[in-house]
Structure 1
Amino acid sequence: MSEILRLQSVSRRFSGLQALRDVSLNVNKGEVLGLIGPNGAGKTTLVNVVTGVTPASSGTVTFDGQDITRVKTYQSARLGLSRTFQIVQPFAEFSALDNVAAAALFSQRGESLKSAREEARQHLAFVGLEAQSEQPAATLTLAMRKRLELAKALAMRPKLLFLDEVNAGLNSAEVERATKLIHQLAANGITIVMIEHLMKVVLNVCSRIVVLHNGQLIADGQPRDVMTNPLVVEAYLGQQYAQRTGAHG
């Protein structure tokens, strides 16, 4: 399996706070990697560092063989890095269609509005929002806005897609629908890194899991091995979860 992303000794400081500490990590083409850990562990900061929102204080980030440690957000998008945001904030007055078309225009050089809209229709159909294409984003339910966020990310034609808590706030039927979409994306060859708190989803979708705690990488491996790792149980999963899965005692 060839590598698409590599982080080498990446750290990020915000004044007195060390958000990431010497994180070294590789992501292989075509895999679905789960990025888990407690709140404040540095998960979103890691995504921000890779996508150019907040550059690394030290260390290097390599994507598809290219050093992207200091690239701007629009440059990372054009290279094939895309993400969803935990707090979904579409252009409220824009239609669902134009929200997705805007993402296509942002990330693709020379894209015309006509072709961006045609592409947007395909992505809306994929996420099941075809019927809502002309509705203002403000009128969509939370679950629909999450799917709109995914369609926007797909319009950027990603080689690697970061999914930041796409299931947060959804009911079980909506989670099941989102999980199916993730399986389909992986089947289409998109490499996925997903931040997720629902362990059922992580175990269902991810082929490998990495765990952050206090900005440090404390585990990296197959899902079942990571779930029974004493460090992970103590830092994140807790004894109750461990007992249910047979990790402890």
Structure 2
Amino acid sequence: MLSIQNVKLQFGSLPVLDNVCYCFHKNQVYTLSGGNGAGKTTLFNVISGFLKPNSGDILFQNRNITKLPPYRINRIGIGRTFQDLRLAMHLTAIENVLLASSHKMFEHYTEEHLEKAHHILNRVSLEDKANACAGEISYGQQKLLTLACLLANNAELLLIDEPVAGIDKSNLMKIVDLVSELKAEGKTIIQIEHHPDYIVATNDVLIKMENGKIIC
């Protein structure tokens, strides 16, 4: 589904990704592990188009996406979350989901759009927070809202950056259940996470990174 071919990235003289090669297959949950500076989030940034490699290629469903901008990569089926959440904190939960599902600026939302957004919020146990501002709900609920925004894209490949870092057990279990559901629906997930119980509950393939390289 996704092929990383000899990808190299360096900032000045500092190598950040060092000849990374890997093939990700459909309908699997992959977990990237490794310490700070291993290259995990940088690899996400390269796959999703926020950084361009110095060399190498990225193929998604046999299409070379290496030089595409992030919005085009998103539209062809790759969605992602961020460690810093990137929610519109002054907007309500449902407005965040609607914004994530929109492909046009100032799009007019129909009843169908609203129904879909409410359905997504229900999936992540946030239906009762639909009209609450994102900045007013708990951190764990904000994590769930980022996943709701990810679902609004209806992407086939989901890049999830530290989904359960810093959240309580109740919300962690909700995310475990959601990831299991998404896999059952045929989604492919690549996640960065360190929480051992979460990894055991969700992971199919563990990928270790060190110094910008995949070591196993």
Same fold (TM over 0.5): yes
Aligned length: 215
The Cα shift of 1:87 comes to 1.3
State the secondary structure of the residue aligned to 2:88. coil
Distance 1:161 1:32 in 2: 10
The answer on 1:193 being equivalent to 2:190 is yes
Map of 1:146 onto structure 2: 143
1:181 to 174, 178, 195: 178
Structure 2: give runs of 5+ residues left out of the alignment. none
The 8 Å contact of residues 58 and 65 in structure 2, kept in 1 or not, is answered as: yes
Percentage of matched positions with identical amino acids: 33
2:9 to 9, 12, 31: 12
State the secondary structure of the residue aligned to 2:102. helix
TM-score, normalised via structure 2 length: 0.95
The 8 Å contact of residues 105 and 116 in structure 1, kept in 2 or not, is answered as: no
What letter corresponds to residue 117 of structure 1 in structure 2? L
The answer on 1:91 being equivalent to 2:88 is yes
Matches within 5 A, 1:130-141: 130-141=127-138
Once superposed, what is the RMSD of the aligned Cα atoms? Answer: 1.6
Map of 1:165 onto structure 2: 162
Matches within 5 A, 1:92-131: 92-106=89-103, 112-114=108-110, 115-131=112-128
What letter corresponds to residue 196 of structure 1 in structure 2? E
C-alpha spacing 1:112/1:26, structure 2 compared with 1 (3 Å):
farther
Distance 1:95 1:16 in 2: 44
The Cα shift of 1:30 comes to 0.4
Structure 1: give runs of 5+ residues left out of the alignment. 220-249
The 8 Å contact of residues 124 and 174 in structure 2, kept in 1 or not, is answered as: no
Structure with the higher fraction of residues in helix conformation: 1
The Cα shift of 1:55 comes to 1.2
The 8 Å contact of residues 105 and 112 in structure 1, kept in 2 or not, is answered as: no
Which consecutive segments of 4 or more residues in structure 1 shift more than 3 A? Answer: none
The Cα shift of 1:112 comes to 4.7
Map of 1:209 onto structure 2: 206
Map of 1:61 onto structure 2: 58
State the secondary structure of the residue aligned to 2:115. helix
The 8 Å contact of residues 29 and 204 in structure 2, kept in 1 or not, is answered as: yes
State the secondary structure of the residue aligned to 2:23. strand
The 8 Å contact of residues 98 and 117 in structure 1, kept in 2 or not, is answered as: no
TM-score, normalised via structure 1 length: 0.83
The answer on 1:47 being equivalent to 2:47 is no
Bigger relative contact order, structure 1 or 2 (CA pairs below 8 A, ≥6 apart): 2
Distance 1:80 1:210 in 2: 22
The Cα shift of 1:99 comes to 0.4
The 8 Å contact of residues 35 and 196 in structure 1, kept in 2 or not, is answered as: yes
The Cα shift of 1:144 comes to 0.5
